[in-house]
Amino acid sequence: MTVSGTVGPTDSVSTILRGLASAQKSSRGAASYSRWVNRPVGRFVAALAFKVGATPNQVTAVAAVFTFGGVALLATLPAVPLVGIVVAALLVLGYAFDAADGQLARLRGGGSLSGEWLDHVIDCIKCSTLHLVVAVAWYRHFDLPPVFFLVPLIYAVQSAVWFFSIMLTDQLRRGSQHATSSVTTGAKPEGRSLFRSILFTPIDYGVLCLSFILLGWHGPFVGVYGVLMIINVCVLALAMVRWYGELARASVAR
C-alpha cells in the first residue's frame, strides 16, 4: 500500500503521519521492540525525511552510517561504559532509520527493486558483522576462557542463517499459491498477537542493540549476550522445522 497523492511535503508532520498510518503493513505478532518502539519511531523519521525531500536510498545510507559507526567504535575503542552507551545509541538509531526507508517509499508512491536490494544487502552485512566484531572486542578487552569466543561466532552464523531463511521462505511462499493462501487467511486474535510480540522479545534486533549498554560491565554483558544467543538459536531451529514442513505440504498440494 502507498499513500502517494494523499499527502505532500508541504503538509504537517502530523498530517503525514496520519496518512502513513493508513498504509502500514500489519505489525501483529512482530516482536515487542519492533512493534511498539522501532516502527513508530521509523514512521516519524520517514515523515521528516519526506518533508525535506530525502529518498529511501538516502535514508538507507544514513541507517548504514549509524549502524556501522557503532560497529566501528565497538571494534576499535575499549569496552567501557561510555563506549557501550554510544554504541547502543548508534545501533538503535540505525535500526530506526532502517525501519524508515520502506515507509518513506510508501509516502513517495512505492519503492524500487534496487532500493529493496540495497536495504537487504546492508541488513545482511550488518547481521554477521556485528557479532564478529563482538568476538574481536571480547578478544581484545575481556578476560574470558577461549571457549567463550564460540558464543559470538555461533550468534553470527545464526543471524546469517535466520536472515537468509526468512528471505528464501518468503520467496518460496510467493511462488506457491497454496502456501501463500495458507499463511495469509484470517487475522490472529489480538490476545494471541500481544502474547506473540512479548514472547519474541529476545529475538528482536532492537533488544540486541540495547544490550550493548552493558558493554562496560563485562560479566553482565557476556551473560545477557549469551542468553540472547541461546534463545535465538533455539528459535531458529524451531522456525526451520516449521518452514520446512509448511513448504513440504505446499509442494504436495501443487
pLDDT at 178: 46
Is residue 167 within 8 A of residue 241, CB to CB? The reply is no
User: Which run of H or of E encompasses 234?
Assistant: helix 218-253
Closest CA to 74 of 94, 88, 64, 60: 88
CB atoms within 10 A of CB 66: 19
Average pLDDT rounded to a whole number, residues 100-117: 90
pLDDT at 186: 46
> How far is 34 from 92, CA to CA, in rounded Å?
11
What does the CA dihedral 176, 169, 34, 200 come to, rounded to 10 degrees? 110
* Three-state secondary structure call for residue 4: strand
pLDDT at residue 159 above 90? yes
> How far is 41 from 89, CA to CA, in rounded Å?
14
Average pLDDT rounded to a whole number, residues 245-254: 87
Residue 173's φ and ψ, nearest 5 degrees, are: -60, -45
pLDDT at 181: 46
pLDDT at 180: 45
Tell me the whole-structure pTM to 2 decimals: 0.90
Domains of the chain listed by start with CATH number: 13-253 (1.20.120.1760)
Considering 41-45, 102-106, 195-199, the range whose residues carry the highest mean pLDDT is: 41-45
pLDDT at 211: 98
Closest CA to 25 of 44, 9, 2: 2
Average pLDDT, whole number, for the chain? Answer: 89
Quick: pLDDT tens for 173-193: 988 754 444 444 445 566 678
Is residue 161 within 8 A of residue 236, CB to CB? The reply is yes
> How far is 161 from 119, CA to CA, in rounded Å?
17
Average pLDDT rounded to a whole number, residues 11-32: 77
